[in-house]
A = this chain, B = another copy of it.
Amino acid sequence: MSKVHNFSAGPCILPQEVLKQASEAVINFNNLNLSLIEISHRSKDFIEVMDKAQALVKELLGVPEGYSVLFLQGGASLGFLKVPYNFMKQGGSAAYLNTGTWANKAQKEATRLGEVIEVASSKDKNYNYIPKNFQIPGGADYLHITTNNTIFGTQLKNIPISRIPVIADMSSDIFSKKINVSQFDMIYAGAQKNMGPAGTTLYIVKDSALGKTGREIPTMLDLQTHIKKESMFNTPPVFAVYVSMLTLQWLKDNGGVEWIEGVNQQKADLLYNEIDNNPLFEGTANTVDRSNMNATFVLTNEGLKDEFDKMWQAANISGIKGHRDVGGYRASMYNALPLESVQALVDVMKEFGQKFG
């Protein structure tokens, strides 16, 4: 079969060599003659996987001393609850920047535990831009941001300058570009975009920021529980952690986040250039806030939808149907998507333009 150009919004494309190694490990891991998924998580062989995954996160992102790296379960959605439990003081407040569906869900979860201040929202324009020049309340315990908004195709190009701690959900752009971890008290991210398969969530947390809320925290929601046990308080999601480790190793072997940032910029430039220059297409996100991960666009003539759909499907392109909240199309260009796949899509768009423009 010919190659599929996989633009899925997540779970999404992973490097072929990672899939190959993962497939082999399901049969015979580390030449143990046992599967990765049938050995104890407390075995030497798996502990090495967990340690290596954590070390790769630290190396690739330049995580400073004093931060812990965790691989937990529950998705960023459970993270939405862990954030206020671990960082919002009893009787305190938290600031949230509302840039989309997931940002909004994070915010909603915090309202159960205390006062939430929405510093700004782009809901008025169906989240097609990133609010700027908002006031951050100095008395809030933290500012929560969502750095990339998968559904709406927007991305924070700059982390807000903040005197209060910043906590970021980076589920859909972590490892896509360089970041400065010391700007954050916590970063968290579901694995299923740039890091690995669904089933594990990465937390990078400043140790000294924990234990200060005065709250009683349920055991599994308390990040200190997991730091003390090095992500092994209970059985970790073995396969998801292993494949994340392989994916991070792949990233390192190819040149790290500096390298991928360049590749991702090339891919985004290629696609947005076509969207802007082809009169049959229109981007939905505010130009300066466009995401390098998820490009959202619509047809200028909806009557040509069937024609366009036939053409990209014939080119073995997969996963570009837009989210129901935006409509149109969404091309997700995560780390493992090669430039040639974006070129394949652009070629189809050009051909479509020539035929119907």
Task: Please list the residues of chain A having a beta carbon within 8 angstroms of any beta carbon in chain B.
Answer: 1-4, 6, 8-14, 19-20, 22-24, 26-27, 31-35, 37-41, 73-78, 80-81, 105, 108-109, 112, 190, 192, 197-200, 216, 218-221, 233-240, 243, 318-319
Pairs across A and B, CB under 8 Å, 11 listed? A1-B31, A4-B34, A6-B38, A73-B237, A74-B78, A77-B220, A77-B234, A192-B235, A198-B239, A199-B199, A239-B240
- Max count, chain B CB within 10 A of own CB: residue among A9, A78, A198, A221: A198
In the bound complex, how far is the Cα of B200 from the Cα of A79, in angstroms?
Answer: 17
The reply to whether A81 and B33 form a contact with Cβ atoms under 8 Å apart is no
Does more than half of chain A's interface fall in helix, strand or loop, or is it mixed?
loop
| Count of chain copies | 2
Q: How far is the CB of A146 from chain B (nearest CB, A)?
A: 14
Task: Pick the residue among B3, B34, B235 that contacts A190 (CB under 8 A).
Answer: B235
The chain B residue with its CB closest to the CB of A218 is B81
Given pairs A11-B235, A26-B26, A237-B237, 9 additional interface contacts (CB within 8 A): A6-B39, A13-B38, A22-B26, A76-B234, A109-B219, A112-B216, A197-B239, A199-B199, A240-B240
The reply to whether A23 and B27 form a contact with Cβ atoms under 8 Å apart is yes
In the bound complex, how far is the Cα of B236 from the Cα of A74, in angstroms?
Answer: 9
- Max count, chain B CB within 10 A of own CB: residue among A9, A78, A199: A199
The reply to whether A1 and B197 form a contact with Cβ atoms under 8 Å apart is no
The residues of B that contact A19 with a CB separation of less than 8 Å are: 26-27, 35, 37-38
The chain B residue with its CB closest to the CB of A2 is B33
The reply to whether B243 and A37 form a contact with Cβ atoms under 8 Å apart is yes
The residues of B that contact A23 with a CB separation of less than 8 Å are: 23-24, 26-27
The residues of B that contact A75 with a CB separation of less than 8 Å are: 73, 220, 234-235
Q: How far is the CB of A129 from chain B (nearest CB, A)?
A: 25
The residues of B that contact A199 with a CB separation of less than 8 Å are: 73, 199-200, 237-240
Task: Pick the residue among B22, B39, B74, B105 that contacts A8 (CB under 8 A).
Answer: B39
The residues of B that contact A112 with a CB separation of less than 8 Å are: 216, 218
In the bound complex, how far is the Cα of B243 from the Cα of A192, in angstroms?
Answer: 18
The chain B residue with its CB closest to the CB of A26 is B23
The reply to whether A198 and B78 form a contact with Cβ atoms under 8 Å apart is no
The residues of B that contact A8 with a CB separation of less than 8 Å are: 38-40
Q: How far is the CB of A96 from chain B (nearest CB, A)?
A: 15
